[in-house]
Amino acid sequence: MSLTPHSSRSQIVTVTEVIDETDLAKSFVFDAEWDYRPGQFVTVRVPSERTGSVARSYSLYTSPFDGTKPGVTVKRTVDGYASNWLCDNITAGSELEVLPPSGVFVPESLDVPLLLLAAGSGITPVMSILAAALRTGTQPITLLYANADPAATIFRERIARLEVEHERLTVIWWMESERGIPDADMLAALLTPYHSRPTYLCGRDEFMAACKEAAKVIGTPRQLVHQEIYASLTGDAFADIVPHEVVIEDDAPEVTVHNLGATFTVPWPKDESLVDVLINNGHDVPYSCQSGECATCLCKLTKGTVEMAVTDGLDPDDAEDGYILGCQAKPTSPELEVEY
């Protein structure tokens, strides 16, 4: 049976291959031609008899520069719904409805020395960045990759092969079966030589907390540390923002937006989110989950103030630097300015 899209932004893709990566993780390769950037993710609509569907994001492990079809890697979550459904039900030839690649966990440059930190399934976006930087860059890359043991290590053979092929790649394999769970002190001791590198990290919460603490200890400038937070979306990411009539009060705040080289000013009614306002005004700005959980709508507030109901997807350090989630932001000052 052929699927039909539930949103103007979604696509139906065919899974061309399913790869058993470990006992708990499978990769799904899509027959899709996407213009994506290393580190981005897609959002999959998983059917449910209970709720109709759930939306879950999965990072692309592939590199856009390798000439291969894009794919995601899904690790079964204990008692998880969607990850187990995908691993149990999707085979080569299955169709899935997905929102195409989005996300901001993307290096500004792939041709600078990089520090990559991953644990478990957190390797997925990091693998994409690693493969892209090896293909297009020339600078040294260090990857620290923590796992329970070798059998649980996703892409173990592929990374080992890259390590042999590329002298500028250093891999620190961290097996918890031998060394225990890495804490901030252990990481700081290993990572000191890399304190000036842009750092990309992804993994379970405690691992990310330890990495961020270690980065602080070794003096990595905060702006160089980027993380991808895995969370299950709670909203309906597949719902479209429907153009609607808005009554603009005389005293409505105004926002000046700098986006893709263009600058424009629009009224921003107090009960509308920034994404709602801009899409409603016909401006193409990025968004995905619409529930404050994925950071695709990240932008920088350079003037004024906003309130946000949900900030789960917003790194507290980014928030301190003035970044906001456009899908949650509502104005609390008369004049505002944002940069995408």
Residues forming contacts to ligand FAD in the complex (CB under 6 A) are: 41, 48, 50-51, 54, 56-59, 72-75, 77, 80-84, 103, 121, 124, 228, 230-232, 294
Applying CB under 6 A, does 293 fall inside the site for ligand FES? Answer: yes
- CB of 265 vs ligand FES, minimal distance in Å: 22
How wide is the angle at C-alpha 251 spanned by C-alphas 246 and 256, nearest 5°? 75
Query: Structure tokens of 305?
Result: 């103030």
Residue number, 106 or 154, with CB nearest to ligand FES? 106
Give the tokens for residue 256.
């000046």
Question: Smallest Cα–Cα separation from 125: which of 77, 88, 71, 172?
Answer: 71
Q: For residue 103, how many C-alpha atoms fall within 13 Å in the half-sphere facing its CB?
A: 28
User: Per-residue string for binding with ligand FES, 230-269, x by CB under 6 A?
Assistant: ----------------------------------------
Helices and strands in the chain: count of H runs, count of E runs: 8, 18
Rounded to a whole number of angstroms, the minimum distance from the CB of residue 148 to ligand FES is 30
Neighbours of 161 (CB within 10 A): 11
- 193: which residues sit within 8 A by CB, 6+ positions away? none
How many angstroms separate the Cα of 69 from the Cα of each of 27, 313, 317? 12, 28, 35
Q: In the chain, which residue ranges form alpha helices assigned H by DSSP?
A: 82-89, 123-136, 156-165, 176-179, 184-191, 205-218, 274-280, 316-320
**Closest separation in Å from C-beta 229 to ligand FES:** 10
Give yes or no for residue 297 binding ligand FES (CB under 6 A).
yes
**Chosen from ligand FES, ligand FAD, none, partner binding at 38 (C-beta under 5 to 8 Å by type):** none
For the purposes of burial, counting CB atoms within 10 Å of the CB of 271, is it exposed (0-12), middle (13-18) or buried (19 or more)? Answer: exposed
Nearer CB in complex with ligand FES: 94/281: 281
Q: Which range binds ligand FES by CB under 6 A, 221-229, 259-267, 276-284, 289-297?
A: 289-297
In angstroms, rounded to a whole number, what is the distance separating the alpha carbons of residues 25 and 44?
A: 16
**Is 338 near ligand FES (CB under 6 A)?**
no
324 binds ligand FES (CB under 6 A): no
Cβ atoms of residues 323 and 259 within 8 Å? no
Of 122, 253, 313, 331, the one binding ligand FES (CB under 6 A) is 313
Cα gap 30→93, rounded to integer Å: 10
Quick one: what does residue 287 bind among ligand FES, ligand FAD, none, with the CB cut-off 5 to 8 Å set by partner type? ligand FES
If binding means CB under 6 A, how many residues of this protein chain bind ligand FES? Answer: 13
Does 10 engage in binding with ligand FES (CB under 6 A)? no
Contacting range for ligand FES; rule: CB under 6 A; set: 5-13, 207-215, 259-267, 284-292: 284-292
Pairing of strands 262-267, 254-259: antiparallel
* Partner whose footprint covers residue 292, from ligand FAD, ligand FES, none (CB < 5 to 8 Å by kind): ligand FES
- Sign (positive/negative) of CA torsion 320, 325, 328, 330? positive
| Contact pick of 99, 106, 211, 325 for ligand FES (by CB under 6 A) | 325
Q: Pick from 55, 118, 288, 299: which binds ligand FES (CB under 6 A)?
A: 288
Would you say the C-alpha torsion 58, 61, 65, 66 has a positive or negative sign? negative
| Smaller CB separation from ligand FAD, 64 or 304 | 64
Q: Please state the closest distance from residue 244 (CB atom) to ligand FAD, in A.
A: 28
Judged by CB under 6 A, the residue of 40, 83, 220, 290 near ligand FES is: 290
Give the footprint of ligand FES on this chain (CB under 6 A): 287-290, 292-297, 313, 325, 327
